[in-house]
Amino acid sequence: MIKPYGSQELNPLFVYAVGQHHILQKEAEQLPSLLLNSAAAANAVMLGAGYFNPLSGYMDLADSISVAETMRTQSGLFWPIPCVNLSQDASAIKNARRIALRDPNLAGHPVLAIQEVQAIERVHRQHLEQMAEAVFRTLDPAHPGVATFLSLGDHLISGPIEVLNFSYFHQDFPDTFRSAVEIRNEIREHGWNTVVAFQTRNPMHRAHEELCKMAKAAVQADGVLIHMLLGKLKPGDIPAAVRDAAIRKMVELYFPPNTVMVTGYGFDMLYAGPREAILHAIFRQNAGCTHLIVGRDHAGVGDYYGPFDAQVIFREQVPQGALQIRIFEADNTAYSRKLNKVVMMRDAPDHQADDFVTLSGTKVRATLAAGQPLPPEFARPEVAEILGAYYRSQD
């Protein structure tokens, strides 16, 4: 199986040993506490699940700035986006050597992890903006990633962590949430050697379905990992539970048995475009995948990135040999009226715009909310029904 990123073995930071877990839980009740924001909590979950391998915890200011500006830590590890624990107020943990990190997303704020505090640094607004502009390529406050990052706080708490639970993800998505460890184990159980991953924060329509099938055939994969983001999104995005149901129905009806794993991971969407695409590749290599589909406007939002910038960054800015996972570069996919099938637009140079069935996200939402069917060329009827029921419920 493909090696995890940055190490010979996957080193998740979740404490699996029952005895040690119990000891740390008891210790946590006596420690000074820090209530995390959702972004820092998501980072803890990803560290615990092994997706952030080989990181051992939250970065300090020097590493954070270095990663933002050069995509390398000070020790030389290639990494695309700072992994930070930023807080508005660190007064409750002043001078503490170990602290309990509490979950903002669950009632009662249970302990999510224990952190060894290496430093608490005050971050100037200039440094926050410097990092945000490097990662997101903009400081526009309308960009959801920029707005979130600049609101997290100006106290940076760095140091290694030991993770004690996976927040709400196990509870809310017991059939879907998987750690990188669990996905590797399932790939072994399937006997798959070549696995292509599909990242999604949206429901999957006909074009997405066919793209997975095209990529699987092109790289001669044994299976497909449909890996959906289960954390926080921007307003207007479809909730994870609805996406999960729609994707599972599509896989059940339209893929051969035992060729697809439907899973999810506990992270908040960053909307960092090209930088986030690299992070997505690291996640999937750590989960045991050999290929990642990167298509148009991968992890993008609005018009902040060029349509294929997330492919270009792998060719121009990822050091040779840094990643073992390979990128499957996908073009726009759409249903061709001339050919009566879904195609990549680059493979149909004789087509005009009217030869394709395409719908904007706004048009899709308006159509479903009105109780009208989506064109069968665009969405499977069973998927459209699940999405339509959701939109009607919002009215």
**Taking a C-beta distance cutoff of 8 angstroms, is the pair 291, 196 a contact?**
yes
In this structure, what token pair is assigned to residue 173?
């998505």
Nearest to 175 by CA among 113, 245, 257: 245
User: For residue 211, what are the CA distances in angstroms to 310, 340, 365?
Assistant: 17, 15, 22
**Is 258 a known active-site residue?**
no
**Taking a C-beta distance cutoff of 8 angstroms, is the pair 327, 307 a contact?**
no
**Is 201 a known active-site residue?**
yes
Q: Please name the helix (run of DSSP H) or strand (run of DSSP E) that holds residue 58, with its range, or none.
A: strand 57-58
Q: Which of 11, 137, 202, 365 is catalytic?
A: 202
| CA dist., res. 380 & res. 365, Å (int) | 15
In this structure, what token pair is assigned to residue 91?
């007064």
List, in order, residues 6 or more apart from 37 with CB less than 8 Å away.
Answer: 86, 87, 104, 152, 153
| CA dist., res. 391 & res. 336, Å (int) | 27
SS3 296: coil
Segments in the chain forming alpha helices (H): 18-28, 38-49, 61-70, 125-136, 144-149, 169-172, 180-190, 206-218, 240-254, 274-286, 309-316, 361-369, 381-394
Q: Which of 178, 184, 201, 206 is catalytic?
A: 201
Separation of CA 147 from chain center: 18
CB atoms within 10 A of CB 391: 18
Burial class (CB in 10 A: 0-12, 13-18, 19+), 327: buried
In this structure, what token pair is assigned to residue 238?
């479809």
> Known catalytic residues?
201-202
